[in-house]
Amino acid sequence: MLTERQLLILQVIIDEFIETAHPVGSRAISKKGTIPYSAATIRNEMADLEEMGFLEKTHSSSGRIPSELGYRYYVDHLIAPNPLHKDVKIIKSIIEEGFYEFEQIVQMSAEILSELTNYTSIILGPELMETKLKQLQIVTLSPQTAVAILITDTGHVEHRSFKVPTVINPSDMEKMVNILNDRLTGVPIVRLNEIFHHEVAQLMKMYIRDYDRSYEYLQEIFVYDHPVKLYISGKSNILMQPEFNDVGKIRTFFTMMENENEVVNLLRNSQHGIKVTIGNENEVEAIKDLSLITASYQLNNDQMGTIALIGPTRMEYRKVISLLDGLSMEMTNALYKWYQLDE
């Protein structure tokens, strides 16, 4: 176990390193006055801390920097139970100020978050698994084309253009929309395609002339291919961090960030509450020397989405954790209000 003094020294070193990004030497700590011991004493303790794996040296005669284990310990034990970060209030007031759609709130939150931290923020939109079709509309643009509009009970709107089968005339179309609305309203949008195939097909055959020939045009309306939406902000923000002084590193990071799937996977396995993943704890190669912090926001205990920050392992964990904690609460609230509308 660590002694009181070792804890203190570890904390001071990490705090200092997080602030300056320079290795911390024993003399500097001693001079600072937080710890009333001489440099030599501190040196001994540092040697012990290094042996235990909490600290590292960049070379044999350099000052110490925290190891990943050190950060881990710091995050798990040395951060005071998060007092809400003052900036959360700012976010809260911004969210409540206007009548924003959920997407706007998310977008703004991502921007604020990256601005406040100088890291890259990522927000995974709410999982739409549970949202249901509220209404389907089809607007004809020309004899050959039309746009189908799906409105969900959460106010989410999707649209796709499609070719109108030549065999369908306007009155058929009207009948069709009626049937579809009748049968599909209330169906979870992820199941639309399935229900359309199995339950609606027969009905269509009865009422719509030549339905078989129309079928292939219509089916794509219900293919739901936007499982989640990503909001990323401050990608270039992170370039201000001194650890991004290497072009190769920047390349791998940005290449990873352009791959939406990879980013989604990064966040997907996040759990309830806040989760900190430091350096090599990350599974994804490209961020094995970065830290990822995720927080979930939710509705009625169903997990809905994830907020995350990516930054160097030398991250301001204290600030970031309390910010994310607060923001996820605010977003949960905002989302809750949205759903309330529906009752």
Partner DNA sequence: TGTTAGCACTCGAGTGACTTGAGTGCTAAT
Partner DNA sequence: ATTAGCACTCAAGTCACTCGAGTGCTAACA
**Site for DNA, rule CB under 7 A:** 23-28, 36-41, 43-44, 46-47, 50, 57-64
Q: Under DSSP, is residue 166 helix (H, G, I), strand (E, B) or coil?
A: coil
Q: Is there a contact between 140 and 164 (Cβ–Cβ < 8 Å)?
A: yes
Binding of its own copies by 159 (CB under 8 A): yes
In whole angstroms, what is the distance from residue 4 CA to residue 261 CA?
A: 45
Q: Is there a contact between 146 and 159 (Cβ–Cβ < 8 Å)?
A: no
Q: DSSP E strands: which ranges in the chain?
A: 55-57, 64-66, 120-124, 133-140, 145-152, 157-163, 230-233, 275-278, 290-299, 302-312
Residue type, 147: V
Residue in 101, 182, 210, 212 binding its own copies, rule: CB under 8 A: 101
Among 38-46, 48-56, 325-333, 334-342, which window interacts with its own copies (CB under 8 A)?
334-342
Phi-psi region of 60 (alpha: psi -120 to 50; beta: other; left: phi over 0): alpha
Binding of its own copies by 135 (CB under 8 A): yes
Residue in 6, 92, 94, 155 binding its own copies, rule: CB under 8 A: 155
Residue with smaller CB distance to its own copies, 15 or 243: 243
Q: How many CB atoms lie within 10 A of CB 302?
A: 10
Residue with smaller CB distance to DNA, 28 or 177: 28
Partner whose binding site includes residue 141, from its own copies, DNA, none (CB under 5 to 8 Å by kind): its own copies
Binding of its own copies by 223 (CB under 8 A): no
Q: Which residues bind its own copies (CB under 8 A)?
A: 99, 101, 134-135, 137, 139, 141-142, 144-145, 147, 149, 151, 153-155, 157, 159-163, 235-236, 239-240, 244-247, 250-251, 254-255, 257-258, 340-343
